[in-house]
Amino acid sequence: MAQEVCGVIAPGKNEPVRVETIVVPDPGPGEAVVKIQACGVCHTDLHYKQGGISDDFPFLLGHEAAGIVESVGEGVTDVAPGDFVILNWRAVCGNCRACLRGRPQYCFNTHNAKQKMTLASTGQELSPALGIGAFADKTLVAAGQCTKVDPTVSPAVAGLLGCGVMAGIGAAINTGNVGRGDTVAVIGCGGVGDAAIAGARLAGAARIIAVDIDDRKLEKALTMGATHTVNSKTSDAVEAIRELTGGFGADVVIEAVGRPETYKQAFYGRDLAGTVVLVGVPTPEMKLELPLLDVFGRGGSLKSSWYGDCLPSRDFPMLIDLHQQGRLDLGAFVTETVQLDEVEKAFERMHGGDVLRSVVVL
Ligand SMILES: [Zn+2]
Ligand SMILES: [Zn+2]
């Protein structure tokens, strides 16, 4: 039977979010209902509220979540009721061109639940953020969006791998292919940038340079694994990166801001034949201008990283295991835990740069 639960809704462009009663249908074929235990507050949720992603209001926000599978629909064999899972927004199809070529991390046909959750008051269909919608007691997803991990880990910590932290770690270890002894610079030290720093440390980088305009964020970056910091408000980021890398530039520069000026810092802050990874998300009006001769002459590779080029079934359990072994401190990303009705306040604190992650605990 369909269930009524509480969920955080963005009703219209720039309107404050609010808790409403939503209707969650029973899982159909290939679907699962998940009882949410924790869900991080991500910039993308704010972008949905601001109308920056689409106009399909009302949205059911939240997408960095962990919880327990409550029920599954027909034909679901990979997960079962009672499983502890992290929700992902890359449920690979297995049949598209990317999947068939053995590159499921680029799957073009990721899937979501077919049935819609609705608002109890009006019957309006909800658009779940990134096909998840997890600021809610329960949500309906495609079973492939559920990735089983070690159930002894805290849900508040596990959920973070569902989006921002995975994007940052993956930008370093998957997209940037950081290796032992590499020099790495990370521009922008919010949650994603700090995760890139943690990923670079995990991969064995010899030197990790954190670049930001906020000294508080640089302090935090040192605790996440940065070996050096550069305040790019008071010094030239490119010069400073070169100075710290014997005059050459870094092997891998990860741009976690998503602006043309910081992208140029990344481009010129890398060594010849080095790699730039763009993981920060730009806005539609931004344009990049670079001398094409420099693009050619400096060689190397310019890459973008979506979701850290992760394969959830491979990367989530592996990173949770490393966390459990004490080799990756995922807990350091949780600044505060909040209640379901505090998401609007959490957006304000995120906007002010005060938190890495607020996590809604249900
Ligand atoms: Zn596919
Ligand atoms: Zn996100």
Domain residue ranges in the chain: 3-162+329-361, 168-305
- 3-162+329-361: what fold? Quinone Oxidoreductase; Chain A, domain 1 (3.90.180)
Structure confidence by residue, pLDDT tens digits, 158-187? 999 999 999 999 999 999 999 999 999 999
Q: Pick one of 3.40.50.720, 3.30.365.10, 3.40.430.10, 3.40.50.970 as the CATH number of 168-305.
A: 3.40.50.720
Q: What is the mean pLDDT of the chain?
A: 96
Mean pLDDT of 71-96: 96
pLDDT at 209 exceeding the cut of 80: yes
Name the pLDDT band for 211 (thresholds 50, 70, 90).
Answer: very high
Closest ligand by atom to 168 CA? 2
| Average pLDDT score over residue span 108-133 | 95
Q: Exposed, middle or buried: residue 25 (CB in 10 Å: 0-12, 13-18, 19+)?
A: middle
Ligand 2 centroid vs 159 CA: distance in angstroms? Answer: 11
With a cut of 80, say whether residue 353 has pLDDT above it.
no
Ligand 1 mean position, distance from CA 75 (Å): 19
Name the phi and psi angles at 52, rounded to 5.
-80, -10
pLDDT at 283: 86
* 143 alpha carbon – ligand 1 mean position (Å): 15
Mean pLDDT calculated for residue range 211-217: 96
**pLDDT tens digits along 119-128:** 999 999 999 9
pLDDT bin (cut points 50, 70, 90) of residue 298 is very high
- From ligand 2's centre to the CA of 189, what distance in Å? 16
Q: What is the pLDDT of residues 303-327, one digit of tens each?
A: 999 999 999 999 999 999 999 999 9
Which ligand gives the minimal distance to the CA of 192? 2
- 166-170, 286-290, 347-351 — which is least confidently predicted? 347-351
Instruction: Compute the C-alpha angle 320/358/150, nearest 5°.
Output: 15
Q: How confident is the model at residue 355 (pLDDT cuts 50, 70, 90)?
A: confident
Distance 130 CA to ligand 2 centre (A): 8
User: pTM for the full model?
Assistant: 0.95
Output the pLDDT for position 284.
86
Helices and strands, number each (H, E), in the chain: 11, 18
Write phi, then psi, for 358 (nearest 5 degrees): -95, 135
Task: Output the CA 323–ligand 1 centroid distance in Å.
Answer: 29
State the DSSP code for 57.
P
In angstroms, what is the span from residue 243 Cα to ligand 1's centroid? 44
- Closest CA relative to residue 232, chosen from 259, 192, 205, 199: 259
For residue 94, the CA-to-ligand 2 centroid distance in Å is 24
* Ligand 1 centroid from CA 105, angstroms: 8
Counting ligands in written order, the one closest to the CA of 96 is: 1
Ion ligand 1 nearby residues (CB, 5 A):
93, 96, 99, 107, 109
Q: Cα of 100 to ligand 2 centre, how many Å?
A: 27
